[in-house]
Copies of this chain bind each other. A is one copy, B any other.
Amino acid sequence: MNIPYSDRKRIVVVGGGFGGLQFTKNLPAGMYQVVLVDRNNYHCFQPLLYQVATSGLDPASIAFPLRKTLRNKDEFYFRIAEVEEVLSDQNTIRTSTGDLTYDYLVLATGSATNFFGNDKLEQNGMAMKNIPEALNIRSLLLQNFEKALLTDDLKEREALMNVVIVGGGPTGVELAGAIAELKRHVLPSDYPDLDFRRMRIQLLEAGEALLAGMNKASSSKALRYLRDIGVEVWLKTAVEAYDGKAINTNTKTLPARTMIWAAGVHCKPPKGLDAEALVKNQRIAVDEFNRVKNYENVFAVGDAACMESDAFPNGHPMVAQPAIQQAKNLAKNFVREYKGKEWKPFKYRDLGSMATIGRRKAVAEIIGLKMQGAFAWLVWLFVHLMALVGFRNRLVVFVNWSYNFINYNRDIRLIIRPFEPTTSNGEHNDKFENSAAAEVKAE
């Protein structure tokens, strides 16, 4: 893979998400040679993906060029590649652009959407784990309204306008809230010839409550907020099948041309790892130093890593904070290693969690404090703004949020892609022709 040889030991980091980025940022220059590998040339701030999907932010605002984070750090390299396999007996990874040897390997490979093996769901549902997927959701939503204008079939028009979101975690809750705001403030004036009383936004959750990771008060407040702004929430409702037109659940059938799947993630570690190291959801079992089970020089952090403890028998939650904290601790341990000092085990500080539902509506639990409403919403805005990587991004997001708040608007409702008469979820648009026929008939 054309990395210059060095006297320093080489650390290869796979993945430029929260874990991989924090690790490389926190490791000082001058001790190791570091190679960061990602399939994209940017870091993506996943907590705000839902705003890209709902026309509130452009992708560039939540993405940051990874090369820039390594600037001016001697012997820190970046390569775009897909990592395919770990050949640990040769201390080598095999990638789409060639092999690369390592002295230490840090896997920060994150997680992917889990459709639980249901191919039809995967084929017809929309995932939202990266920027192209968020843009696909934005395009599908907007294209479906354009199509709704073209049909005279009332049932079909309703199905095109309906949106079903599966999964009542923070992603599903925030997405449902954002779409409800679109319905309220933006879409009716964009599409004056559609009757938006017909548009339904439905959030399905298999469990008994929304935001399972938060306490009951937050969960029921989120439920009330969502219902207040017109989201229908169905608890204890599990999706069984989706053919692209109607969603079958254990209790009912919901016609909808858009189903967004935020109901679970699993890991997709590279091939070649010891089977004993792979646990539930394909996470990689690590010890308290983030060292992978049965390996000496392979580490995993973040979503990809499962560090069992008394407080977290199934590993830490698969969100940003554990990834960031583990990466920082691991970077410090590599400094200790370089200096010949003893490694320190990871200690998790739970900073809490939060979810925003809409204007002045959020729930938050931070260092033991429970907040709801406008104050929680301000805290949410502030925390997310500060967590963004890059000053320009913070500035642009702040401008967009201020503008959208004042104007009740989302100006980024753009379908930016080559014009294609098929939708992104693979369905052919017989609708267009039907409608042409309808017009001819009407003539």
Contacts and interface: CB of A to CB of B under 8 A. Distances in A.
Among A97, A393, A399, A418, the most chain B Cβ lie within 10 Å of the Cβ of A97
Nearest to A135: B416
Given A58-B61, A400-B396, A435-B2, A131 B42 contact: no
Interface string A388-403: 0011110110011001
Given A42-B415, A419-B39, A432-B97, A71 B439 contact: no
A98 to B, nearest CB: 3
A190 interface: yes
A411 B390 contact: yes
Contact of A440 (B77, B99, B190, B439): B99
Nearest to A390: B411
Contact of A439 (B82, B100, B407, B409): B100
A279 interface: no
Contacts of A399: 392, 395-396, 399
A270 to B, nearest CB: 15
A149 B79 contact: yes
Contacts of A432: 96-98
Contact of A4 (B64, B68, B151, B193): B193
Interface in A391-437: 391-393, 395-396, 399-400, 403, 407, 409, 411-419, 421, 432-433, 435-437
A40 B98 contact: no
B419 A82 contact: yes
B150 A68 contact: no
Contacts of A421: 82, 96
A287 to B, nearest CB: 31
Secondary structure of the A side of the interface? mixed
Nearest to A55: B65
A99 B189 contact: no
Nearest to A1: B439
Interface string A82-112: 1000000000000011111100000000000
Closest 5 CB pairs of A and B: A98-B436, A58-B60, A67-B190, A97-B432, A39-B419
23 contacts: A1-B439, A2-B151, A2-B152, A2-B438, A39-B419, A41-B142, A41-B414, A65-B411, A65-B414, A80-B146, A80-B415, A82-B421, A97-B436, A98-B436, A99-B443, A132-B416, A132-B417, A132-B418, A392-B400, A392-B411, A396-B396, A396-B399, A399-B399
Interface of A: 1-2, 4, 39-42, 58-61, 63-65, 67-68, 71-72, 77, 79-80, 82, 96-101, 131-132, 135, 142-143, 146, 149-152, 189-191, 193, 390-393, 395-396, 399-400, 403, 407, 409, 411-419, 421, 432-433, 435-440, 443
